[in-house]
Amino acid sequence: MARMHARRRGHSGSVRPYRKETPSWANTDQKAIEKVIVDLRKEGMPSSRIGLILRDRYGVPDVKLITGKRIEQILKEKGMRPEIPQDLRNLIEKALGLRKHLVENKNDLHNKRQLQLTESKVRRLVKYYTGNGRLPKGWSYKPETAEIILSR
pLDDT in tens, 70-103: 999 999 999 999 999 999 999 999 999 999 999 9
**Is the same domain home to 96 and 129?**
yes
**Is the same domain home to 70 and 112?**
no
Give the separation between CA 54 and CA 62, rounded to whole angstroms.
9
* 2 assigned to some structural domain: no
User: Do 90 and 53 meet the contact criterion of CB atoms below 8 Å apart?
Assistant: no
Residues 6+ apart with CB under 8 A from 27: 33, 58, 59, 60, 66
User: Do 129 and 121 meet the contact criterion of CB atoms below 8 Å apart?
Assistant: no
**Is the same domain home to 95 and 117?**
yes
Q: Range of 147's domain? A: 86-151
Domain count, the chain: 2
- What SS3 state is found at 147? helix
Domain final position from 77, 112, 139: 77
* 66 assigned to some structural domain: yes
For residue 137, the one-letter residue type is: K
Look at residues 122, 121, 123, 102 and name the one whose alpha carbon lies nearest to residue 111.
102
Asked if residue 109 has pLDDT above 80, the reply is: yes
**Is the same domain home to 106 and 139?**
yes
The predicted model gives 15-29 an average pLDDT of: 86
State the pTM of this model. 0.83
* 22 assigned to some structural domain: no
User: Do 70 and 77 meet the contact criterion of CB atoms below 8 Å apart?
Assistant: no
- List, in sequence order, every residue forming a beta bridge with 9; answer none if it has no partner: 2
* 99 assigned to some structural domain: yes
- What pLDDT was estimated at residue 55? 92
User: Do 74 and 54 meet the contact criterion of CB atoms below 8 Å apart?
Assistant: no
Asked if residue 1 has pLDDT above 70, the reply is: no
Domain CATH number, residue 141? 1.10.287.10
Q: Is 44 left (phi over 0), alpha (psi -120 to 50) or beta?
A: left
Asked if residue 39 has pLDDT above 60, the reply is: yes
Give the separation between CA 35 and CA 30, rounded to whole angstroms.
9
* 93 assigned to some structural domain: yes
